[in-house]
Amino acid sequence: MKRVWPSEVRGTLRAPASKSMVQRCIALGTLSEGVTTVAGATECDDVLAAIAAARGLGAQVSWARDEFRIRGPEVLRAGDLPCGESGLCLRSFAPIAALADGWSTLRASGSLARRPVGMIVEPLEALGAACRTGGGLPPVEVRGPLAGGRAVLDATVTSQVLTGLLLALPRAPGDSEVVVQGLTSRPYVEMTLDLLRQAGARIEAALDRTWFRIPGHQRLVGRHWTAEGDFSGAAFLLVAGALGGEVTVEGLSAASRQADRRILEALEAAGASVETGPDRVVCRSRVLHPFEFDCTDCPDLVPPLAALAAAIPGPSRLRGSFRLRHKESDRSATLRAAFTAMGITAEDDGESLRVFGGRPRTGVLEAASDHRIAMAGAVAALRATGPVTIRGAECVSKSYPAFFQDLAHLGVRVEEAP
């Protein structure tokens, strides 16, 4: 447990690496000829899950200082792929594993074992592989080889399966066409396409990303990437700056493809001062006011923005709350419970989360094994009437292991709670 005290913040930090980018680069390294290197990586639980999956398929992965080195196998092998609690790992490596000749099992632990994966089955079977799940839940079993063909994918719940198909299908023997329905989180698809093109893949796509044509039998080439700073994790640091002081986060680019770069727009909508440079963002506190923001394509911004809204008197509205039901927890319900423990009312009408902000009070909240809930509670505590205790705070290791140390670096009083 952690206890976080009301505090002013001031200082400069380096953003953790984007786990979304690093996991995609590890997948590409598994599929590419030669050596792929990823500099500036952060060794969090989700990245370690991607490494375990890559090794399960025969890739050689080594780590030195802050750089990963991946050498893909000449032929992918079927195997047992532990995916931890990473939804991106399980949903994107399933099509990759389907390239191998034989059965592979993608296993989940913790909250991922309760998250839906049934949308994987139909497109993989349409493309020539066999696939089965445990009633729409993990584990996922796939048998290749993936041949190519035409598939229709429902991307209403997640775009992560589409990412996996886009990564895998250039290596299939035949050409493929993928029709996408209800695409969400499009910026993450754009990130996938950018990385694939840098690795030498040729992919045609409709402007609205509802259709993709992927020629088969392509050769992907290993290359060097430098991981971007992670806007998803940095969002909590920037909100801390908005609530009480000034925070500079280095390693962030306003031109990033990351969906969560839109935290900059949201902070400005709430009245915070935001300054961007070539490799940094500065957020300073000013007089804040209630705000509205559409999080449909960036649902991971709901927790930090809810923490911001909790400390602003009046009602704020975060649209897109329906995207929160199948995260590490039912994130809307968990957020509402956490803020109730701090004396803040939040309501969800099925489409939007409304937060009736004011002055959070001292209390005890449950992280519910959800890293973003733990971080949201810690940031909201900066404007509380007294210390806030967070049970299960160690879950931040999923994406941002150094989060509480970084808060302390900014001047926040953080203690181990008995």
Identify the pLDDT of residue 112. 87
Report in angstroms the alpha-carbon separations of 11 from 273, 384, 397, 411: 15, 21, 22, 8
Identify the pLDDT of residue 321. 76
Question: What is residue 148's DSSP assignment?
Answer: -
- Phi–psi pair at 366, nearest 5 degrees: -100, 125
Q: What pLDDT, in 10s, does the model give residues 80-122?
A: 999 999 999 999 999 999 999 999 999 999 888 888 899 999 9
Identify the pLDDT of residue 418. 77
Whether residue 328 is predicted with pLDDT greater than 90 in this model: the reply is no
Catalytic (active site) residue 300: yes
Question: What is residue 61's DSSP assignment?
Answer: E
Q: What is the mean pLDDT of the chain?
A: 93
What's the gap between Cα 280 and its chain centre?
A: 20
Identify the pLDDT of residue 323. 62
> How far apart, in whole angstroms, are the C-alpha atoms of residue 125 and residue 160?
17
Q: What pLDDT, in 10s, does the model give residues 287-307?
A: 999 999 998 888 899 999 999
Residue 6 or 299, more confident: 6
Identify the pLDDT of residue 324. 66
Under the banding of pLDDT at 50, 70 and 90, the label for residue 31 is: very high
Reading the block at residue 181, the tokens are 């329905």
Reading the block at residue 404, the tokens are 């509480």
Whether residue 329 is predicted with pLDDT greater than 60 in this model: the reply is no
Cis peptide before 278 (omega within 30 of 0): no
Beta bridge partners of 282: 248, 275
Q: State the residue for tokens 């963002």.
A: 281
Q: What pLDDT, in 10s, does the model give residues 344-370?
A: 999 988 788 999 999 999 999 998 889
290-327 b/e with 16+ CB inside 10 Å = b? bbebebbbbbbbbbbbbbbbbbbeebbbbbbbbbbbbb
Contact indicator for 308, 326 with CB cutoff of 8 Å = no
> How far apart, in whole angstroms, are the C-alpha atoms of residue 394 and residue 378?
12
Beta 149-154 vs 176-181: how paired, if at all? parallel
The catalytically annotated residue of 46, 300, 348, 370 is 300
Contact indicator for 96, 29 with CB cutoff of 8 Å = no
* Structural domains in the chain plus CATH codes: 2-16+229-416 (3.65.10.10), 19-222 (3.65.10.10)
